[in-house]
């Protein structure tokens, strides 16, 4: 079951340029940075009242975020829902005819399990499911 909006992913060309914007213009505190090798991105997280903002900077030209930036420029990249059962969530989406980018969850930022739905079958919104790995405590 979906429990909450966990975070919004925002594609940026440079964390070093984007982080001060969120800190100075919005007064948000950066909770930390992390490189996510599986997605070829560096991330910086902010807390906005329980919903996190996840700034994403590509680490290579073949990163999915690099492709997004080339096609659409900087901006909102994905919407992530927290779920208590990522496998059941993926099955429900697939059963409803939604195309999955990942049929199996993998480890994303913060050690969470994540999987994405294809934006072509979700009305243009790249949708992520994320779940805390069993036995793990969420870093962010």
Contact set for Zn ion, span 80-109 (CB under 5 A): 80
Least Cβ distance, residue 52 to Zn ion (angstroms): 9
Query: Cβ closer to Zn ion: 24 or 107?
Result: 107
Asked if 6 touches Zn ion (CB under 5 A), the answer is no
Query: Cβ closer to Zn ion: 76 or 103?
Result: 76
CA distance 114 to 93: 14
- The alpha carbon of 7 is separated from its chain's Cα centroid by a whole number of angstroms, namely 7
Q: What are phi and psi of 33, to 5 degrees?
A: -125, 155
Structure-token pair, residue 98: 């939604």
Q: With CB under 5 A as the contact rule, which of the stretches 9-17, 23-31, 36-44, 98-106 interacts with Zn ion? A: 9-17
For residue 34, give the H/E element and its range: strand 30-36
Query: Using CB under 5 A as the criterion, which residues of the chain lie in contact with Zn ion when the complex forms?
Result: 9, 80, 128
């Amino acid at each position: 079951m979906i429990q909450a909006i966990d975070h919004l992913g925002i594609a940026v060309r440079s964390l070093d340029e984007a982080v001060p914007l969120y800190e100075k213009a919005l007064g948000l505190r950066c909770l930390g940075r992390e490189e996510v090798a599986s997605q070829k991105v560096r991330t910086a997280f902010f807390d906005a009242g329980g919903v996190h903002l996840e700034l994403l900077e590509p680490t290579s030209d073949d990163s999915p975020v690099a492709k997004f930036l080339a096609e659409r420029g900087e901006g909102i990249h994905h919407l992530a829902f927290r779920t208590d059962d990522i496998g059941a969530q993926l099955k429900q989406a697939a059963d409803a005819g939604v195309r999955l980018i990942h049929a199996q969850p993998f480890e994303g930022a913060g050690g969470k399990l994540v999987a994405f739905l294809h934006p072509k079958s979700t009305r243009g919104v790249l949708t992520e499911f994320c779940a805390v790995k069993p036995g793990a405590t969420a870093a962010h």
